[in-house]
Structure 1
Amino acid sequence: MERISFKEIPNNVLEKLIGLENYINNSNLEITLLELMRLRVAQINGCAYCVDMHYKELKNLGETDLRLSTLVVWEETNFFTDKERAVLRFTEVLTTLNGKPISNAQYDDLRSFFINDEIITLTLAIAQINTWTRLMKTFQIEAGKYKVNR
């Protein structure tokens, strides 16, 4: 049962979160790459609502069942490109900081595929989905009802 509904979140808060979401979605980063990252964060943080949402978004974008079902063990497969692997690695590091530094090797891995502006946007995108997962888990927004609007 929901503790707090979307309707109860102050409008100015949602507007700012959605504004940042729109900025990220309209950036040069590929939407499929962003959605893979979002689904991985949702898995790490155990957010059922966000897992449901980003799974459905990826299916709508034409993502395969094989890649979706193995995203949780992406390092053990060869189903993801080097670019996706760099993003997933950075996603996991940034999501599970635990006081650990982000190594130069991890950062340099990103620089192989992205320019500074894209790394900034990717970092914001990872922080943003971590914010969403924490909100959804706290408010206990019910999973399973999300509908893709594209």
Structure 2
Amino acid sequence: MIVEVPEDKDPIMYVWGEMVPEIGIPASRFSTSVYEHSTLGLREFEAARLRIAQVNGCIFCQDWRTERDGVTVEDGFAEAVEQWRTTPAFDDRTRLAAEYAERYALDHHGIDEGFWTRMRAHYTDREIVELSMCIGSWMAFGRLNRVLELDTACALPSHFAERATS
């Protein structure tokens, strides 16, 4: 990790909750609200979230699967997100969510009217704003965790197993 965390502290809880509580705690509330209050469908939500996780390189975010009422996206969904341009597994909304996330993160100046025309054919203005806020949250906080190397402190067991065999 880039910052020093006492051995008896959970790195995420310490950095977000104790080091800068005036910023970290409200930021955590924003991050949580994205999951608790999103009205977007699970597939488009996860396509955008996973694309940002892939761009950020956040190990924890790539492992995470959002669950709603006991439902998660199918196995292989993350691989489909990597191939969002060509995968037959996505409908137009899901494909656009992944595309928007990638463009938002890598080329926000290149988002043109043609893209917005396609988005408006499948998303309402309210959904576009909601998706934009979700993407912004994932980009900022996933990147923060990756840059400070906190993503490995909160990695799911699958990555610990992979690192142990590498």
Query: Which deviations, in whole Å up to 9, do the C-alpha atoms of 1:72-129 show, x marking residues without a partner?
Result: 11212110011111111111111102x6331011112111122212111111111111
Gaps of 5+ in 2: 5-10, 158-166
In the alignment, structure 1 residue 69 sits paired with structure 2 residue 69 = no
In structure 1, C-alpha distance between the alignment counterparts of 2:49 and 2:126, rounded to whole Å:
19
Gaps of 5+ in 1: none
In the alignment, structure 1 residue 40 sits paired with structure 2 residue 47 = no
In structure 2, C-alpha distance between the alignment counterparts of 1:50 and 1:85, rounded to whole Å:
19
**Residues 116-135 of structure 1 correspond to what in structure 2 (within 5 A)?**
116-135=125-144
Q: More displaced, 120-129 or 12-21? A: 12-21
In the alignment, structure 1 residue 91 sits paired with structure 2 residue 98 = no
> Quick one: percent identity of the two aligned structures?
20
In structure 2, C-alpha distance between the alignment counterparts of 1:134 and 1:90, rounded to whole Å:
17
TM-score by length of 1: 0.80
How many residue pairs get matched?
143
CA RMSD of the aligned region, Å?
Answer: 2.4
**Residues 1-150 of structure 1 correspond to what in structure 2 (within 5 A)?**
1=1, 3=3, 5-6=11-12, 7-9=14-16, 10-25=20-35, 26-53=37-64, 56-57=65-66, 61-97=71-107, 100-141=109-150, 142=152, 143-145=154-156
AA of the residue aligned to 1:13:
I
AA of the residue aligned to 2:115:
Q
Q: More displaced, 80-89 or 99-108? A: 99-108
Secondary structure of the residue that 1:75 maps to in structure 2? coil
